[in-house]
């Protein structure tokens, strides 16, 4: 089985290759989807342990303060989050609630001239409707061009170098689909943790700390520690089971965020999107990401854009603090040609449905091929649910952070499943029906074997 790893890079789990090299194929996949403003969800478990009323004086005062800072539309979002149980949700790493973190964003100092009210609005919007999260970059306005080019060229005075950099910035497509999918997943499944991330990343500390279980990375403690070191994550091991890690974006992310704050157009990223996605790209690419040109370095990929599935799995595991396994369904040869599948259609369908029935979203990587099965592009999206039509045909409800649609889309299972290259599944489901799915631990062993060379 050939998977997407550092030795056999498909490295197209970013939107740039789809947009620049496979536009006609990309349109084809969208022609098989439908948009829905309301979806008949069938599988998501309902959480009955929610609070929808402000009960303490402190909660009421915080709510009042937020209301006074918001316009009419955003007050409706605030009211919706209260009535739906989102606002008082405290399923965060430090048990702070969505309300607690929104209040901090609104009333305490923010980093690098970021505006409290705009950050509040952007965070609230993405929590109220995670489908508004997008990976689309904005252009660099004239006011910031010199500063951005100076940073990217190390203040070079070479006119050709500067001109080439300016041209590169004009044609920039986002390779942040994995990061944006993880951002969506966090906002939808753990809104309090999402708000805590938003607060920490926009604070003067420019980072967020998180306590994680080491077995979320590997059942072997030494492997887990090696992973943290390999991905260059600042951490403090509390004991053999737990560690405190620090997650942060690259320094240039704050210039990007400020540009989006002041010059954001419709369908472009918000400042929160910038900082969240930059953090996730930086974490997964071994602290090598540059938000200004969407380039990454790092030891696990030979390409300078996007993330490979190994890095995606690490990202999911640390952000969500759960053991996610990357299951590879497609066999891809060294020429990046799809030559077969690792299992049958019904097994894939069963694994996806079982995962959704447990209340989990599934971040998948799908491939686009030409008539000769040559892979010409790929993308990451999130499966959030499933439904059946009147004829019993199965559809997967999905979110795509690069489709300009702020609502769910649906794909027929018969269309989507053959395109899935990999999926992030719970370990127990992944190991139940497939003999060789453990690419996560396989890669740990391979990288451990070669880590001296790396």
pLDDT one-digit tens code per residue, 205-229: 999 999 999 999 988 898 899 999 9
The pLDDT tens digits for 342-389 are 999 999 999 999 999 999 999 999 999 999 999 998 999 999 999 999
Residue 57 lies in a domain: no
Confidence of residue 14 (pLDDT cuts 50, 70, 90): very low
Find out whether 9 and 378 touch, Cβ atoms under 8 Å: no
Q: In this structure, is residue 347 part of a structural domain?
A: yes
Number of domains comprising the chain: 1
Which of 137-146, 170-179, 411-420, 428-437 is least confident? 428-437
* Structure letter (DSSP) for residue 384: E
Most confident listed range (11-15, 44-48, 150-154, 219-223): 150-154
Distance CA 198, CA 409 (A): 26
Residue 317 lies in a domain: yes
Determine which helix (DSSP H) or strand (DSSP E) holds 331, and give its type and residue range: strand 330-332
Instruction: Tell me whether residue 91 is in a domain.
Output: no
Cα 188 from Cα 39, distance rounded (Å): 15
pTM, two decimals, is 0.88
CA pair distance 367, 142, nearest whole angstrom: 37
Residue 415, domain member (yes or no): yes
**Bridging pattern class, strands 394-399 and 208-213:** unpaired
| Mean pLDDT, all residues of the chain | 87
Answer yes or no: is 25 within a domain.
yes
The domain in which residue 370 lies consists of 15-45+307-450
Q: What is the mean pLDDT of residues 428-433?
A: 79
In this structure, is residue 63 part of a structural domain? no
Contacts 24+ apart (CB under 8 A), 334-339: 334/2, 334/8, 335/374, 336/10, 336/374, 336/375, 337/372, 337/373, 337/374, 337/375, 338/367, 338/369, 338/373, 338/374, 338/375, 339/373
Query: What is the band of 126 on the pLDDT scale with cuts at 50, 70, 90?
Result: very high
**Residue 89 resides in a domain:** no
Mean pLDDT to the nearest integer, 248-257: 97
Q: What is the mean pLDDT of residues 80-101?
A: 97
**Angle (nearest 5°) at CA 144 between 138 and 145:** 90
Q: Is 298 left (phi over 0), alpha (psi -120 to 50) or beta?
A: left
- The neighbouring-strand residues paired with 327 are 423
d(CA 198, CA 358): 27
């Amino acid at each position: 089985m050939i998977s997407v790893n550092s030795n056999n890079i498909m490295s197209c789990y970013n939107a740039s290759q789809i947009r620049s090299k496979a536009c006609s194929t990309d349109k084809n996949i969208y022609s098989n989807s439908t948009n829905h403003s309301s979806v008949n969800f069938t599988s998501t478990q309902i959480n009955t342990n929610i609070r929808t009323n402000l009960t303490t004086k402190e909660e009421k005062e915080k709510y009042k303060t937020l209301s006074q800072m918001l316009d009419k539309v955003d007050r409706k979002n605030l009211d919706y989050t209260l009535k739906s149980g989102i606002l008082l949700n405290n399923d965060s790493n430090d048990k702070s609630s969505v309300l607690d973190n929104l209040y901090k964003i609104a009333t305490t100092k923010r980093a690098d001239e970021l505006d409290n009210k705009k950050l509040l609005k952007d965070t609230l919007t993405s929590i109220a409707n995670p489908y508004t999260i997008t990976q689309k970059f904005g252009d660099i306005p004239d006011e910031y061009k010199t500063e951005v080019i100076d940073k990217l060229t190390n203040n070079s005075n070479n006119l050709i170098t500067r001109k080439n950099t300016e041209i590169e910035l004009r044609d920039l497509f986002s390779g942040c689909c994995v990061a944006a999918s993880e951002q969506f997943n966090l906002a939808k499944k753990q809104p309090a943790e999402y708000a805590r991330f938003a607060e920490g990343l926009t604070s003067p500390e420019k980072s967020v700390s998180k306590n994680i279980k080491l077995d979320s990375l590997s059942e072997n403690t030494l492997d887990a520690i090696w992973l943290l070191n390999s991905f260059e994550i600042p951490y403090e091991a509390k004991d053999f089971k737990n560690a405190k890690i620090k997650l942060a974006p690259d320094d240039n992310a704050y210039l990007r965020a400020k540009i989006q704050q002041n010059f954001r157009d419709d369908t472009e990223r918000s400042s929160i999107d910038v900082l969240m996605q930059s953090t996730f790209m930086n974490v997964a690419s071994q602290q090598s990401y540059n938000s200004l040109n969407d380039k990454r370095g790092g030891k696990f990929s030979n390409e300078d854009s996007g993330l490979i599935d190994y890095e995606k799995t690490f990202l999911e595991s640390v952000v969500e603090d759960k053991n996610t396994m990357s299951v590879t369904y497609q066999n891809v040869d060294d020429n990046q040609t799809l030559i077969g599948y690792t299992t049958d259609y019904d097994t894939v369908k069963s694994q996806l449905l079982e995962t959704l029935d447990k209340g989990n979203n599934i971040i998948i990587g799908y491939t686009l091929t030409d008539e000769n099965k040559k892979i010409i592009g790929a993308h990451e999206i999130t499966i959030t649910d499933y439904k059946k039509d009147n004829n019993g045909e199965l559809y997967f409800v999905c979110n795509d952070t690069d489709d300009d649609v702020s609502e769910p889309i649906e794909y027929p299972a018969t269309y989507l499943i053959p395109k899935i290259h990999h999926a992030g599944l719970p370990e127990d489901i992944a190991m139940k029906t497939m003999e060789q799915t453990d690419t996560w631990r396989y890669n740990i062993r391979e990288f451990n074997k070669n880590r001296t060379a790396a």
